[in-house]
Structure 1
C-alpha cells in the first residue's frame, strides 16, 4: 500500500523516490495524516492547476475539520481575510491580477537587469573565503532576492536584515508541522512587517517614488485601484514568494550543476544556454514543491471521487519528474524541449513573478560561473532546508 510520509528525514533530503513510488502505485492518493489528496502525476496536477472552475485557490471553499483550522488561522493572522492573487478566485482574482499586471510588465522587469547584475557582482566582491570556503546560500542566494525586492518596494538597505527575518518566519508556516511556536512567530513577523509597510505605503501615496510600490499604488483599471490593505497584503506576498522561491532556485540549481562538471563547462562555453538551463533547473529540483487547492464541487480525478470542499496538494515537484511527460525525467538536460514544467504553475494563477525569477536565476548563475573557476562543493558543505511546499538549501559551501 502506497503511503505519503513527508515527515521522514529522507523526504527532505530527497523527496523524488517517494514521489515516484506514489505516482506508480496511487497518483491520486488520500493522505490520512494530512487529510488531503496528494497528486503526483503531471496530468492530474496540470488539470487541477488549470481548472479554476472546479478547483479553488481560496480556503473559504474548504469543508470539515480542515476548514475550521484554516478559517481560525485566517482570523488570527493580520490581514488574513484580505485576498491576494495567490489565495483568491475570479472575479476577485481577475481584478487583482489586472491591476498588478500594470506594474509587472516584461519591459519593467527586463529594465531591472543592469541593477540586478550590479547587486550580484557586489555580493560576490564581498565574499569571505578566508577559511577556503564560501557559503553560497547565506552569502549570495539568500541576500540577492531580498535586496532586489527591498529595492522594488523602496526599502532602505539598513532594513534588509529585518525583511529576511520576517520572510523566514512567515515561510515556515508552509510546513506540515505548524507548531504553536511557528505560528506565533509568523504572526508576530506579519504584524511587524505590516506596521513597517503601512508607513511605506502611506509615504508612496503622498510622495511617489520610482519603485514598483508607487506604480502599484497608482495602477488603475476601470476606475478601480488597490486598497491600502491590498497593497500591504501584496507586499507580504512579494516578500515571501519572491525571496524564498528565488533563493531556492539558486541553491537547488547550483547544487545540481556542481555535481555535473561537464554541464558546467558547457554553460561556460555556451552562455546562450543559460535561459534554457534555468528552466531545466526549475523542473529538475523545483523551488515550489506543491500548492494547495480545494474542490468547489464533487468531482472525479484519476478515477477517484473528490468530495466538495476537499483539500488537494498538486505536488508540482513530483509532476516535473513524471516520465509520462518528460523523457528521462531524472536527468538534467540543458536542451530539453519542450519543457512544460509546472514550477510556476498553470492557468490564471501562473506565477506573476516568473519573469523576475527567471531573470534573477539567469544573472545569478552567470555571475557564479564567471567568478568561480570550479564549482566544487566542500565536504559536509550541504544542509537542506524547506517545508512540505518549499525546497531549498540552507547551507551550500563551495571550495574557494
Structure 2
C-alpha cells in the first residue's frame, strides 16, 4: 500500500459490510491520520473532535452540496444534481434553511414534546406488554422501530397503516446518505434510490391533497395553511420538508434506542442500575450518543476559504466529518472506547452544532428516556440472546435485528 493510496483505502474500509458490527477500529486508524486529504475529490476528512466541532460551528460551513466544486463540475458535465427536486431544509443554507426551519420548529417545541409524553408512555407499555408474552423478543421490531414511527406519523399526519410502505422506501433512501460516490467515485444503488424517492414524494403529494380537502391538527395541514396564506412556501417545499422529517424523524431515534439497549446489555451493571433508578436515563442516553452515535458522519462544504486547525480548506471543497471517530478521540475524554454513563462531562456532536442543530433532539431524548426506563424496569434480568444483525447503512448505522431474552 502506497502512501498516496492509503487514505482512500482506509475510507473504503468503512464501506465494507464486514466492518458494520464494529467500525471503530477503522475509525481509530483514520483518527490517527486526521485530517486526511483526497485531492482528486477535493475532499477533506476530519475525525478529531476539535476539527469536527470547529467545522460545525464555523459561519462559512455550508450544507448545500450544490455549492461544492464537485457538484458544479457535475452540473457542467450535464448531470442532474438534484434528481428528487427541492431538498429538505437540512441540506439548505440560510435564508431558505432559516425560513423553513422556523415554520417546522413549532411542531417540536418543548410544550408539544412534553404533551406527547403520556401517549408515548402508553405506547411503550403496550409494546412491552406484547414483548412480555414470549421468552425472547426483537428489540428493533417490537420497540425501537414502532415507537418513533408512530410518533413522527402522528406529528406529520401520515397514516400509520401506510408504515410498511414508507419505511421500506426510507430504508433505501437512507443509504443515499452513505459516501460511496465520495469515497470510491462509484455510486451504489442509485436506480433503486431514485425509484424509492420518487414513490415517497408522490405518496406525500397525494397525502397533501387529502389534507387540503380535509385539514387536521398536524404539521402537514399547518404547512398547507402557511402556503395558502402566501408566506413564501411552495408545495415542493412542503413535500421536501415532510419527506425529510419522515425519514430523519424515525431512522435516527430507532438507532439511539437500540444502541442504548445493546450497550447496556453488554455492560449489565448499567441495565441493572437504570432498572432501579430512572434518573440515570439522561446519562445513559448522552453516553450512547457519544459511544455509538446514530449518525456516524456528516458533511459540509466550504462556502469560502477556511482555516480549520492547521488545515486550509479552499472554497468549494467538501469536509467529511467522522463524528463516530471524533467521539472516541482521546483528546476528548479518558477511556474513549469504554461505555461509561458516569463520566463527567459527556461531550458529543451527535445532534450537530450551530444553525443545523437537530430540531428533533428534545423529542428523541424523551422517546429514548421513556423506552429505556420502561424496558429495563419491565425486564430487569434481560440478556442478549444473539449477536445483533446490522443494516447496510454507513451514515445512519443501525441494527436490523436485536434479540433480547427476557
Question: How high is the TM-score relative to the length of structure 2?
Answer: 0.88
Match of 1:102, SS? helix
Return the alpha-carbon distance in structure 2 between the equivalents of residues 7 and 191 of structure 1.
Answer: 26
Match of 2:31, SS? helix
Return the alpha-carbon distance in structure 2 between the equivalents of residues 85 and 180 of structure 1.
Answer: 23
Tell me if 1:174 matches 2:177. yes
* Structure 1 residue runs without a partner (length 5+): none
- Per-residue displacement from partner, 1:238-264 (whole Å, max 9, x unpaired)? 111112111111121111110111111
- Moved runs in structure 1, 4+ residues, more than 6 A? 178-181
Q: Which has the higher helix share?
A: 2
Cα displacement (A) at 1:306: 2.0
Return the alpha-carbon distance in structure 2 between the equivalents of residues 139 and 126 of structure 1.
Answer: 8
Aligned position for 1:162: 165
Return the alpha-carbon distance in structure 2 between the equivalents of residues 208 and 71 of structure 1.
Answer: 41
* Structure 2 residue runs without a partner (length 5+): none
**Aligned positions of 1:336-347 closer than 5 A:** 336-347=343-354
Asked if the contact 1:57/1:293 (under 8 Å) is kept, the reply is: yes
- Structure 2 residue corresponding to 1:108, chosen from 103, 108, 112: 112
- Per-residue displacement from partner, 1:20-43 (whole Å, max 9, x unpaired)? 23223x211124796621111011
Return the alpha-carbon distance in structure 1 between the equivalents of residues 374 and 226 of structure 2.
Answer: 34
Aligned position for 2:360: 353
- Per-residue displacement from partner, 1:331-388 (whole Å, max 9, x unpaired)? 2222333323100000000001111111111111122112223231113x31122433
Aligned position for 2:291: 284
Aligned position for 1:90: 94
Tell me if 1:141 matches 2:144. yes
Aligned position for 2:155: 152
Tell me if 1:205 matches 2:212. yes
Pair 1:267–1:112, CA change in 2 (3 A): same
Cα displacement (A) at 1:181: 6.8
Aligned position for 1:272: 279
- Structure 2 residue corresponding to 1:396, chosen from 399, 402, 406: 402
Pair 1:225–1:353, CA change in 2 (3 A): farther
Match of 1:254, SS? helix
- Structure 1 residue corresponding to 2:384, chosen from 365, 371, 377: 377
Aligned position for 1:59: 65
Number of matched residues?
392
Return the alpha-carbon distance in structure 2 between the equivalents of residues 11 and 303 of structure 1.
Answer: 31
Asked if the contact 1:246/1:361 (under 8 Å) is kept, the reply is: yes
Match of 2:333, SS? coil
Pair 1:167–1:64, CA change in 2 (3 A): closer
Tell me if 1:368 matches 2:375. yes
Question: How high is the TM-score relative to the length of structure 1?
Answer: 0.90
- Structure 1 residue corresponding to 2:55, chosen from 48, 51, 57: 48
Return the alpha-carbon distance in structure 2 between the equivalents of residues 65 and 235 of structure 1.
Answer: 25
Cα displacement (A) at 1:11: 3.3
- Structure 1 residue corresponding to 2:46, chosen from 39, 55, 60: 39
Cα displacement (A) at 1:138: 2.2
Match of 1:38, SS? strand
Asked if the contact 1:103/1:219 (under 8 Å) is kept, the reply is: no
Match of 1:60, SS? helix
Tell me if 1:330 matches 2:337. yes
Return the alpha-carbon distance in structure 1 between the equivalents of residues 318 and 249 of structure 2.
Answer: 25
Return the alpha-carbon distance in structure 2 between the equivalents of residues 266 and 246 of structure 1.
Answer: 22
**Aligned positions of 1:209-358 closer than 5 A:** 209-219=216-226, 224-358=231-365
Return the alpha-carbon distance in structure 2 between the equivalents of residues 357 and 393 of structure 1.
Answer: 17
Match of 1:74, SS? coil
Asked if the contact 1:84/1:234 (under 8 Å) is kept, the reply is: yes
